[in-house]
Chain A
Amino acid sequence: MRIFDPHIHMTSRTTDDYAAMAAAGVKAVVEPAFWLGQPRTGPGSFADYFDSLVGWEPYRAAQFGIAHHATIALNPKEANDPRCRAVLDLVPRYLAKDGVVAVGEIGYDSMTPEEDEAFTRQLAMAVEFGLPALVHTPHRDKARGTARSLDVVRESGIAPERVVIDHLNEVTVKQVKDAGCWAGFSIYPDTKMSPPRMVEILKDYGPERVLVNSAADWGKSDPLLTVRTAEAMREAGFTDDDVDLVLWRNPVAFYGQSGRLNLEDRQSAEGTFEGSSILRGGS
């Protein structure tokens, strides 16, 4: 079994997590830029964080044979702090990097005018740089937040198949599928979405254009819930091919639209694990 976690915040995880993920079959991750728990107060703090996402963290991941890519953006929560607004001028510099495969996480937290502006401007950057976009949906007022996100995506002119709307649930999945966007699901230990519920959604909507992630970060979360979801899919009668589609080929197809996903050379690019391809083995 090969697993691609399309949304995980490895910056907040330990080397034990990397080791456990590698042992369980996780061979590739995408780490979206997001908030860190402690609010930041200026662009310099973001620049160092973005540097880490295209520098230190891929190097760390490579020590465990895991290919690491990133998405870059000013997240919606911190877009509300005027001291962080200048981050929007910094983002294009990082969107030019090899390891950056999408703009994200963008979207809404509290649906303020400041969030509107950051969302719209960064969707325009996705179009300009030919990158897909990763859209976070708010944890509160989710259904209306999702509908409004889809409106903004539509108005931006970006192709819907280049957008993933993330953190969906039973209530919000249908409108996203109908809009032609990718549907992202974050599997958490107790809240939001669990492996059994995810399996039911896959039964109802099929395994196409779906991304399943752990969204593991500094909060209560589990980087192996992608693996647990794959196991739950098998128990529910999905084929190995369905599992491979959802947990490997779908994220490869989505982020591959950037033209920058580099799973073959990634480890040798990071100077370790030479001669071993992470694409080998598995299913």
Chain B
Amino acid sequence: MTGINDNEAVDDLWDALDGTPGRPWLDDAVASVRKEPASIARHFPAAGRHTGRETLPAEPGWTADQAARAVLLDALLATPGGPDQVAELYRYGDSREKLAMLTAFSILPEAPDEQVVPILRDALRTNDTRLVAAALGPVADRLDDDAWRQGVLKCVFMGVPLAGIHGLHDRGDDGLALMLAGLAEERAAAGRDFPEDAAALLTDLRRDDRAGTGQERDAAPRPGDAG
């Protein structure tokens, strides 16, 4: 069976779910969503109870329930009016559903920015480290630089490992370096540790000496301007 949006990543998840105990349920649920998009409100929260929550051997980045939810979301997006229901699905999701959506957006470019970006901002406002980290996965390409920098800084503040942040060293700029330096200074003044990965990032951003690029990007203040 193939995804209906001709999405290879979704096809791979279908294949990875082949032969798992929840697969017949998923086939029925997808058929139901195609026929009656609103029925996703019942199927989406139930996924884990049918598919289990184990990591998929063929797709180690995905658990079975997350993969099933990505497939359901893909089916919803292909229905008339389906894309407009994404925000509401997220709004009524429990933490695991929200996490699954944030992960799935990375492989679902057809999910419209008008729906996805407010969801990412919502996730970044929470105190749930899982949601904050997930909003800074590959899907974070949709965030503007200000929101992205604040998200990275929040991860440092909350002790979320930075290794999971997508494109950190490529996207990190002088503006981020300035914010990190400020937090490092506060932590030092309080006699508290500054996370090693954040210190390494700061060193790296400063060493890069991005003179020029920082200004071209968005005129973010540079470390030297703090003076």
B46-97, CB < 8 A from A: 46, 48-49, 53, 92, 94-96
- Tell whether, in the assembled complex, residue B96 and residue A98 are in contact, meaning their CB atoms are under 8 Å apart: yes
Q: Mark A54-94, 1 if CB is under 8 A from B, else 0.
A: 11101100000000000000000000000000000000011
Evaluate whether A271 and B42 lie within 8 angstroms (CB atoms) in the complex, with A54-B94, A98-B94, A259-B49 already known: no
Evaluate whether A58 and B95 lie within 8 angstroms (CB atoms) in the complex, with A96-B46, A260-B49 already known: yes
B interface majority secondary structure: helix
Evaluate whether A98 and B129 lie within 8 angstroms (CB atoms) in the complex, with A55-B95, A269-B53 already known: no
Assign chain A's interface to a size class: 10 to 19
User: Once the chains are docked, how many angstroms separate the CA of A59 from the CA of B48?
Assistant: 18
- Tell whether, in the assembled complex, residue A55 and residue B94 are in contact, meaning their CB atoms are under 8 Å apart: yes
Assign chain B's interface to a size class: 10 to 19
Q: Mark B152-178, 1 if CB is under 8 A from A, else 0.
A: 000000000000000000000000000
Total A-B Cβ pairs within 8 A: 37
Minimum CB distance partner of B43 in chain A: A96
- Tell whether, in the assembled complex, residue B127 and residue A56 are in contact, meaning their CB atoms are under 8 Å apart: yes
Question: Within 8 Å CB of A51, what residues of B?
Answer: 92
Question: Within 8 Å CB of A270, what residues of B?
Answer: 95
Residue in B53, B92, B95, B127 with the greatest tally of chain A CB atoms within 10 Å: B95
- Tell whether, in the assembled complex, residue A93 and residue B92 are in contact, meaning their CB atoms are under 8 Å apart: yes
Interface flag for A97 (CB, 8 Å): yes
Interface flag for A265 (CB, 8 Å): yes
- Tell whether, in the assembled complex, residue B41 and residue A93 are in contact, meaning their CB atoms are under 8 Å apart: yes
Partner of A96, one of B45, B126, B128: B45
Q: A47-B92, A96-B42, A265-B53 are in contact. List 17 more A-B contacts (CB 8 A).
A: A51-B92, A54-B94, A55-B94, A55-B95, A55-B98, A55-B128, A56-B126, A56-B127, A56-B128, A93-B41, A93-B92, A94-B92, A96-B45, A98-B49, A99-B94, A260-B49, A269-B96
> Chain A residues in contact with chain B, CB under 8 A?
47, 51, 54-56, 58-59, 93-94, 96-99, 259-260, 265, 269-271
A-B residue pairs in contact (CB < 8 Å), sample of 30: A47-B92, A51-B92, A54-B94, A54-B95, A55-B94, A55-B95, A55-B98, A55-B128, A56-B126, A56-B127, A56-B128, A58-B95, A59-B95, A59-B128, A93-B41, A93-B92, A94-B92, A96-B41, A96-B42, A96-B45, A96-B46, A98-B48, A98-B49, A98-B96, A99-B94, A259-B49, A265-B53, A269-B53, A269-B96, A270-B95
